Amino acid sequence: MGTYQRIHPQVQEGIASRKAYLVGGGIGSLSAAAFLIRDGHMPGRNIHILEQSAVYGGSMDGAGNAKDGYSARGGREIEEHFECFMELFGFIPSLTNPDRTVLDEFRELNLAEPIESHCRLVEKEGTPADFSTLGLSTAHALQLGKLTLATEDRLGAVTIEQFFDPSFLETNFWYFWRSMFAFENWHSVVEVKRYMERFMHLISGMNQLKGILHTEYNQFDSLILPLMKWLEREGVHFDKGHQVTDLELDFSGGEKVVTAIQLLVNGSPKTISTARGDLVMVTNGSMTENSTLGDMDHPAVLNRSVTERGCWSLWEKLAAKSPDFGHPEVFCGDIDKSKWLSFTMTFTDDEIVFPHLLELTGDAPGMGGVVTIKDSSWMMSWTAPKQPHFINQPDNVKVLWAYGLFPDAEGDYIKKKMSDCTGRELLEELCYHMGLKDRIPEILEHTTNVIPCMMPYITSQFMPRVAGDRPQVVPQGSMNLAFLGQFAEVPDDCVFTVEYSVRSAMMAVYNLLALEKEVIPVHPSKYDVRVLLTALRTCLGNKALPLDKTLGELLAGTVISKLI
The residues annotated as belonging to the active site are: 77, 195
The CA distance from 404 to 340, in Å, is 6
Give me the residues paired with residue 525 across strands.
none
DSSP state of 313: H
| Contact (Cβ atoms closer than 8 angstroms) between residue 495 and residue 504 | no
What lies within 8 Å, CB to CB, of 136 at 6+ separation is 144, 168, 171, 173, 539, 540, 541
Helical H runs in 333-421? 353-361
Number of helices (H), then strands (E), belonging to the chain: the values are 19, 20
What is the side-by-side order of every strand in the sheet holding 242-250?
Answer: 242-250, 257-265, 268-273
Closest by Cα among 529, 543, 474 to 506: 474
Give me the residues paired with residue 341 across strands.
404, 454
CB < 8 Å & 24+ apart, contacts of 129-132: 129/374, 130/172, 131/172, 131/176, 131/207, 131/208, 132/207
The values of phi and psi at residue 516, to 5°, are -85, 10
The CA distance from 4 to 391, in Å, is 39
